[in-house]
């Protein structure tokens, strides 16, 4: 028998039936209950994210969203409907006219601190030496602000090495959401449409659901390829792809821990560790709005010894950040992005 044919036979005899594999994967695919994942389920849709961001800039009508984002009508209709069903937006009649407006609900406005935490990360790591697109001005204290993620108990800032965690009442696993992880990493470029934004740049790196989950495993201390593979029940080719992207993006570095066979572990870099703030800011939002009072994870601030809720606070006056208290100085021309333009300070 020619070698090629022999190989072919050997290969096909050990190759599992793809249908059986798919059925098995479907049966066992579960994922950790996770408030960050629940938050990202919403904002990792590129269009949904852009619409929410425009709303923070004061955009409220269908036409204003459309002209600011250049989004197709059918897509905008679909996303506004979904975001209204999710209670991120509510519909309101605009004055006496028939025109409808989409206003952020309390739950929608409460995404603001998470966006700000992502923005600070983007400013620090992804501006490529240029000035950040936006400077935040905190009207409460009148200062230029670089908000930080802090402990609700003592008010000190909290980084990746400052907190420990334990299972909360909502801990456990749930069946992996159908279609949740199917978005291709290349779809991320949609985040970069419209106005320049450090939040977009951050989501371009971690907004893809698998990339996010791989980074999360890093925060749980799971560094080794096989361990991550097992924990996430992810296809090996997808895991390899995401790890390569995250290494190229500067979030992980790869270290060999064994030779013949060569094995590697993936360590969060300083940049990767700095994602902790945005992660726990999103965790707080998911806990508050999507966990039905049953948070999957409880965080303890090591320094003060208390359980805490992450808070995003002004670095100058230490007060929590809310959308209504912020003004912006832009490093770009807002007129090139339609809409009303943000509430700028002159
Ligand atoms: Zn504390
Ligand atoms: Zn302040």
DSSP 19-61: HHHHHHHHHH-EEE--HHHHHHHHHTSHHHHHHHHHHHTT--B
Tell the residue number behind the tokens 């090591």, with chain if given: 302
State the pLDDT at residue 106.
95
pLDDT at residue 343, rounded to an integer: 46
List the helix and strand counts (H, then E) for the chain: 14, 14
Q: How far is the CA of 148 from the centre of ligand 2 (A)?
A: 11
Question: For residues 195 and 159, what is the distance between their CA atoms, to the nearest angstrom?
Answer: 29
CB atoms within 10 A of CB 141: 14
- For 234, half-sphere exposure in the C-beta direction (CA atoms, 13 angstrom radius) is 26
Contact 330, 339 (CB under 8 A): no
Task: Give distance in angstroms: CA of 116 to centre of ligand 1.
Answer: 21
Q: Distance (Å, rounded) from C-alpha 162 to C-alpha 302?
A: 6
- pLDDT at residue 128 in the model: 85
Q: Is 191 exposed, middle or buried (0-12, 13-18, 19+ CB in 10 A)?
A: buried
Token output for 154: 């003592």
What's the CA-to-centroid distance between 35 and ligand 2, angstroms? 28
Lookup result for tokens 């096989």:
226
The environment of the single-atom ion ligand 2, i.e. residues with CB closer than 5 A, is 138, 141, 314, 316-317
pLDDT digits (tens, 9 = 90+) for 176-198: 765 444 444 445 566 667 677 88
The distance from CA 131 to its chain's CA centroid, rounded to whole angstroms, is 23
Looking at residue 176, what is its pLDDT? 73
CA distance 115 to 53: 8
Ligand at minimal distance from the CA of 141 is: 2
Q: What is the pLDDT of residues 148-165, one digit of tens each?
A: 999 999 999 999 999 999
User: Model pTM greater than 0.85?
Assistant: no
Task: Please provide residue 328's backbone torsions phi and psi, each rounded to the nearest 5 degrees.
Answer: -130, 140
**Positions in the chain short of pLDDT 50:** 1-13, 179-186, 338-346
Quick one: which ligand is closest to 147's CA?
A: 2
Give the span between the Cα atoms of 289 and 293, in whole angstroms: 8
For residue 299, the CA-to-ligand 1 centroid distance in Å is: 10
Residue 313 alpha carbon to ligand 2 centre in Å: 8
Q: Measure 170 CA to ligand 2 centroid, in angstroms.
A: 34
The pLDDT value given to residue 136: 93
């Amino acid at each position: 028998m020619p070698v090629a044919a022999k190989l072919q036979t050997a290969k096909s005899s050990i190759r599992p039936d793809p249908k059986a594999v798919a059925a098995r994967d479907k049966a066992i695919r579960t994922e950790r209950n996770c408030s960050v994942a629940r938050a990202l389920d919403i904002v990792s849709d590129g269009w949904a994210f852009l619409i929410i961001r425009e709303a923070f800039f004061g955009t409220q009508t269908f036409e204003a969203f459309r002209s600011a984002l250049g989004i197709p009508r059918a897509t905008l209709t679909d996303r506004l409907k979904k975001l209204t069903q999710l209670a991120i937006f509510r519909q309101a009649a605009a004055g006496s006219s028939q025109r409808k407006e989409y206003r952020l609900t309390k739950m929608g406005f409460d995404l603001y601190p998470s966006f700000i935490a992502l923005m600070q990360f983007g400013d620090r790591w992804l501006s490529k030496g240029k000035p950040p697109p936006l400077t935040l001005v905190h009207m409460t204290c009148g200062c230029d602000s670089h908000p930080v993620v802090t402990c609700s108990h003592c008010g000190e800032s909290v980084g990746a090495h400052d907190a420990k965690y334990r299972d909360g009442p909502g801990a456990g696993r749930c069946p992996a959401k159908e279609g949740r992880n199917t978005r291709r990493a290349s779809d991320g470029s949609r985040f970069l449409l419209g106005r320049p934004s450090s939040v977009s740049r951050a989501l371009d790196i971690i907004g893809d659901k698998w990339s996010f989950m791989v980074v999360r495993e890093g925060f749980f201390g799971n560094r080794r390829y096989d361990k991550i593979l097992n924990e996430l029940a992810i296809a090996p080719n997808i895991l390899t792809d995401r790890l390569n992207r995250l290494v190229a993006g500067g979030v992980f570095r790869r270290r060999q821990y064994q030779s013949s066979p060569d094995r590697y572990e993936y360590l969060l870099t300083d940049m990767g560790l700095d994602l902790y703030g945005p992660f726990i800011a999103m965790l707080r939002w998911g806990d508050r709005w999507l966990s039905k009072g049953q948070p999957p994870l409880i965080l303890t601030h090591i320094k003060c010894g208390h359980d805490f809720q992450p808070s995003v606070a002004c670095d100058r006056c230490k007060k929590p950040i809310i959308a209504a208290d912020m003004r912006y100085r832009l490093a770009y021309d807002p007129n090139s992005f339609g809409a009303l333009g943000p509430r700028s300070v002159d």
